[in-house]
Amino acid sequence: MARAIFVLATIVLVATSRPAVAAMFPGHINLVDKQTPVGPADVPHGIFVVHFAAPPAPPTATLDFTGCPGLALDDPQPDPTLVVNCPMHTVTAPVVPVASVGDFEAVFTIVGATPAGVSPRSPSVALLSGGTLPLGPVRVSTYDLDAAGGLNLADLSIWANAYFSGIFAARCDYNADGVLTLADLSVWAAAYGSGLDIVSPVGCLVP
Ligand SMILES: [Ca+2]
Ligand SMILES: [Ca+2]
């Protein structure tokens, strides 16, 4: 009964606090490595687009990684339009018009990793906002599972340990279906095989 009341209250709260900004975004982002110390990032395997139906559109979109303890973020990011605020654990992108469809979008490809010693089972949910309005949670995974040497067999070993442990590890769930399967390994292998993830992130650690 208490649970039912809580759910009902949550629905009412969401319904009454729905932001005026209409946004569409994936529920998941894969953080990538980069090709050289200054980039570029592996865009094909990490791009995350927030779509705003205008008007109104906020000036920026921000991912807050406070809910991803131990995460390493590249600071600065290779994409010069992305602004890292390391003390606040955020990455902000500009919202720009999309001429072909007449509305707006923010585009992220974020270089980030899970350092060695940080469990891939660590909490891993970012919060997306448009301007100052919260838009919703975004699950976060990282191809690079030791934040060293780009994508390599050490990451594969960590992924395999998580897989065979039978315990879900959000940082390893690359297709965001809530379970670790060989489909996730296939996504990782595509990034690894692309040769676009050679250098790990440096500069900012989420505590
Ligand atoms: Ca690595
Ligand atoms: Ca999965």
* Whole-number pLDDT of residue 102: 75
Ligand index nearest the alpha carbon of residue 171: 2
- Mean pLDDT value of segment 18-35: 87
Report how far ligand 1's centroid is from the alpha carbon of 50 (Å): 28
- Mean pLDDT value of segment 71-92: 98
d(C-alpha 207, C-alpha 20), whole Å:
33
With pLDDT > 90 as the criterion, what percentage of the chain qualifies?
84
Distances (CA, A) of 27 to 41, 53, 178, 196: 21, 18, 12, 24
More confident residue, 8 or 47: 47
d(C-alpha 150, C-alpha 36), whole Å:
10
Report how far ligand 1's centroid is from the alpha carbon of 127 (Å): 25
The string of DSSP letters for 69-120 reads TT-EEESS-SSTT-EEEGGGTEEEEE-EEETTTTEEEEEE--BEE--TTS-T
Query: 3-class SS at 193?
Result: helix
Ligand index nearest the alpha carbon of residue 162: 2
Question: Could you tell me whether strands 60-64 and 125-130 are parallel, antiparallel, or unpaired per DSSP bridges?
Answer: antiparallel
Report how far ligand 1's centroid is from the alpha carbon of 146 (Å): 5
Ligand index nearest the alpha carbon of residue 170: 2
Report how far ligand 1's centroid is from the alpha carbon of 201 (Å): 10
Ligand index nearest the alpha carbon of residue 178: 2
Asked if pLDDT for residue 18 goes beyond 80, the answer is no
Ligand index nearest the alpha carbon of residue 153: 1
Report how far ligand 1's centroid is from the alpha carbon of 1 (Å): 47
In the chain, which ranges are continuous DSSP H helix?
A: 2-16, 153-165, 182-194
Taking only the tens place, the pLDDT of each residue in 131-183 is: 999 999 999 999 999 999 999 999 999 999 999 999 999 999 999 999 999 99
Tell me the two tokens of residue 48.
């995350």
What DSSP designation does 59 have?
S
Report how far ligand 2's centroid is from the alpha carbon of 13 (Å): 31
d(C-alpha 206, C-alpha 200), whole Å:
15
